[in-house]
A and B are shown apart, each in its own frame.
Chain A
C-alpha cells in the first residue's frame, strides 16, 4: 500500500496537476505580495490564470483513477470541477473591485481563495476518506481566515471566530465518522465500504451519521446551519459568493459517493426518512426565518439554507437519477446565488458595515444594471420559469415524484411559495421604494459588470435551453461508482 505514496507515477502527477496549478498560483501571489508589492494589481489576473490552468489540466487529465484508486478523473469529477471553477472565477471577478473599494487589496485574499478552492477540488476528486478530509480541512482553514479578513471590523472577527469554532466541531464529527468507517471496513478507500454485510453494522451506521453531520455543517443544512448567517455577514462578500455554492456542492457529492458505496442496493428506509427530515427542516426553517431578515447577506444565508433543503431531496431520491438532478440544481444555484452576492457586493458602498436591505431602496433607478441582475437572480432563486432556478427545481421535483416522494415534493412547492414572500420583498425595495440614502450606490466596475452579465446569461441559458446541461449532467452522474443501474 505504501508504494503508491512513495513512487508517484507520471499518471499520478498528471491527475493532480490541476490542484498543483492552484497551489502554485497562490504561492506566487504571496511571493509577489512580499517582494514586489507594486505588482499588486495583477493578483486577480494571476489567480484567474491559476484557475484557467487548473481547468486546462483537469479537462486534459487522462480518465480513470490514480494513486492506487484514491483519486478520480471521470466525467463526473470533470463536470464538478468545471462547476467549482466557474464559482471561483465569478468570485474572483467580483473580488478585485470589492477589495479596491474597501482599501484592503491584499494578496492573502486571493491566495486563500485559491487554496480554499484547492481543498474543495480535493474533496470532489478524492476516493479516499482521508483525502476528502484533508480537502475539507484545507478549505476550512482558508475560509476561517477569510471570514475574519477585515481585522479591524468587529463583525468580521466575530465571523472568523464563530466559523472556526463551529467548523472545528463539524470537522471533528467528520473525522469520527471516518474513523468509525475505517474501523468497520479496514480501509479508508470509499470502494472498500462496498462490502456485503457492512451496511448493517452499527459502526457503519454511526460513521455515516457522523459524516452526515459533518458535511451537513458545510452545506449549512438545518439544524447545523447556525453559523451561516453570522459568517456570511462578516465575511467579504466575494468569498461568501464562493463559500455559499462550491463547498456545498462538494459536500453533497461526497455524501452521494459514500452513501451509494455503502448502500449499493438502495438506501434503507431509516436513513431515507432521516435525510428527508433534514431536507424538510432545512427548507422550512430557512424560508420562514428568511421572511424576518432585514440584512441582505443574512437573507441570502437563510435562502441558501432553504435551497440546501431542496437539493437534499436529491439525496433522498438517491442513485444516479438523484445525483443528475442535484448537479443541474447546483448549476442553476451557482449562477443565481453567485449573481445575487455579486449584486450585493456591487450595490453597497461601505463593505465593512452591515448590509440592510432598506438601503437598496431606489437602486432600480440609480444602479439599473446591478439591480436588474439582482432581481433576476432572486426570481431565479424563487424558481420562476424561464430562469435557471425553475429548471433546477423541475428536475429535482420530477426525480422526487418518480420515486413516489409525494409528500416531500408537496412540502417543497409549499416552501417555494413561502420563499416568494422574501425574494419579492427585495425586488419591491429595489424598484418600488424611494431612496432613503442620499448617496447613490458605487459606480459599477467593469469586472463587476462582467460577472453580473455572465450570471444573467447563465440564468437565461439554463432557464431557456436546459437540454444540453441535463444531458451532460446525466452522463456525468452515470459515472458515479456504485450508483445503481
Chain B
C-alpha cells in the first residue's frame, strides 16, 4: 500500500473518480441519495489523495515529478506516461478542489437523474486530471476528448431551456479544433519515425524534433486552434456564453474553473514548446487577440441583463488577460498567467456558485428581478462581495497578485502597449462587477417576493467558503504558489530558447 501510494500517487488521483463512476454503475437507478453521497465522497477522497502532491512537490526542480511510465501501444511507442510540473500541479489541485465544491452545491440542487449526474461528473474529473498529467501526446488526446462526452451530457440533460443547442455547439466547436490537432499529432509521430527510425508519442521525444517554415506554421496552427477554441480566444468564443448560460451551476463552475484553463495549459505544454519558432511569430497576434478579448468581453459583460451571462463574458475578458501574459512571454508575465488561471478558477467558480444560489431560490437570473436583497440574504451578499473583489483584483485578495504580475510582466516585454490596453480591461471589470453587486444587493428594494429569499444552506456555505478561504490565502501568501510556478516557467522558456537556436541552424 505504501509502495502504491509512493510510486503511483498520480495514477491514483487520476483514476479514483473513474473508479467511483464505475462503482456507481452498479447502483440501482433509484438510489439517489446514496449516489450523490458516493460521488461527493469519492471526489473528497481524490482531493485528499491529491494533497500529498502539494506537500511532496520538490520546489527546486523545473522538470516533471511524480512520473510514471508504462508501455501502452508499444509497437508505436505510445505509453501511459504521466507526471506534473509546477503548472500542472496547481491545475490538478484546482480540479480536485472544484469538483467536490460543485458536487457539494449540487447535493441540494440536482433532482433529475442523480446517479447519471454523479457518474458524468466523476468521469469528467478523470478526463480533466488525465489531460493535465499526460506526457504522451496520444494519451493526452484520449483524455482531452473523453472530457467532452460527460460535459455534453451535463449541459444537455441538466441544463437550461436552450440546453440542446448549447451542448451541441459546445461539442462541435471543441471537436472541430481537436480533429486537426489529431492529424498534427499523427504527423509529428510519423516525422519522429522518419527522423529516428523508432516510434514515439512521448512529449519529451517529440520536443526534440525541429521544423521549418510552413510545416511548422501549419502544425502550430492545428494545435493552437484546438486550444484557442477551448480558452476561448476572441473570435472563437461564441460557444462559451451559450454553454455557460445553459449549463447547470455545477457544470458552469467546472467549465469556467478548469475546462477553459486546459486551453491555456495545452498551449503552454504543447503548442509553444513543440513549435517555438511559429509560436513566437504568432505571439503578437495572440497578444492582440488577448487585448481584444479583454476589452470586448468586458464591454459585452457590462451590457448583460442576465447575471450568469455577465459572469460568462467576464471570463472571456479575464482569460484575455491570461492570453496577453502568455503572448508577452516574460518569466513574470507567464507566471502571472498561470497564477491568474488558478485565481480565475476560484473567483469565477464562486461567482457562478452564488449566482446559482440565488437562481435556485428565485428561478431567474435577471439582474432587475433582484435589488436590495443584502438585508434578506446577508451571508450570500458577503460571500458574493468577496468573490467580486477577488475577481476585480482588490489588493489582499488573489486576483490582485495575478493581474499585477501579468501587467508588470507584460510592461517589461517589448509589447508595452498591451499592458496599457489590458489595464483598461481591469478597470472595466471593476465597473461592471461592482455595478452588478450594487444592483443585485444594494439598490432600493424592488420586488416583494424577494422578502422570502432564504440565505445559504450549510452545504452551499461550505462550498463557497472553501473558495473564499483559498482566495484570501493566495492573496496573502502568493509566493506559496509562485515558488512552484516559476521553475516550471523558467524551464519552459529555456527549452523554447534552446530549440529556437537549434531551428535557426540549417
Q: Please give the residue numbers on chain A whose beta carbons come within 8 Å of chain B beta carbons, in ascending order.
A: 365, 368, 379, 384-386, 390, 394, 397-398, 401-402, 409-410, 413-414, 416-417, 420-421, 424, 428, 431-432, 466-467, 470-471, 474
Contact = CB atoms under 8 A, between A and B. Distances in A.
A424 B157 contact: no
A99 B87 CA distance: 59
Most buried by A among B141, B144, B172, B179: B179
Interface string B144-177: 1110110011001100000110011001100110
Nearest to A466: B73
A55 B172 CA distance: 43
Contacts of A386: 142, 145-146
Contacts of A384: 145-146, 148-149
B180 interface: yes
Contacts of B152: 424
Contacts of A401: 183, 186-187, 190
A301 to B, nearest CB: 23
B29 interface: yes
B505 interface: no
A368 B145 contact: no
For the residues of A in contact with B, the DSSP-based class is helix
Contacts of A379: 149
Interface of B: 29, 72-76, 113, 141-146, 148-149, 152-153, 156-157, 163-164, 167-168, 171-172, 175-176, 179-180, 182-183, 186-187, 189-190
Nearest to A368: B29
A470 B182 CA distance: 19
Contacts of B180: 413
A417 B180 CA distance: 10
B182 A413 contact: yes
Contact of B190 (A390, A398, A416, A467): A398
B172 A421 contact: yes
A195 to B, nearest CB: 35
A470 to B, nearest CB: 6
A328 B75 CA distance: 14
Nearest to B159: A432
A424 B167 CA distance: 10
Contacts of B144: 385
Q: Is the interface of B mostly helix, strand, loop or mixed?
A: helix
Contacts of A398: 76, 186, 189-190
Nearest to B163: A432
Given A413-B180, A416-B179, A420-B172, A431 B146 contact: no
Contacts of A470: 73, 75
Given A385-B145, A431-B156, A417 B72 contact: no
**Of residues A394, A414, A421, A431, which shows the largest number of chain B Cβ atoms within 10 Å of its Cβ?**
A394
Given A384-B149, A467-B73, A417 B29 contact: no
A413 B183 contact: yes
B122 to A, nearest CB: 15
Contacts of A409: 183
Contacts of A368: 29
Contacts of A414: 179
A409 B141 CA distance: 17
18 contacts: A365-B113, A385-B143, A390-B145, A397-B182, A398-B76, A401-B187, A414-B179, A416-B179, A421-B172, A424-B152, A424-B168, A424-B171, A428-B168, A431-B157, A432-B164, A466-B73, A470-B73, A470-B75
B182 A428 contact: no
A410 B172 contact: no
Nearest to A413: B179
A397 B186 contact: yes
B126 to A, nearest CB: 10
Nearest to B168: A424
B156 A402 contact: no
A467 B77 CA distance: 11
Contacts of B75: 467, 470-471, 474
Nearest to B143: A385
A456 to B, nearest CB: 11
Nearest to A365: B113
Contacts of A417: 172, 175-176, 179
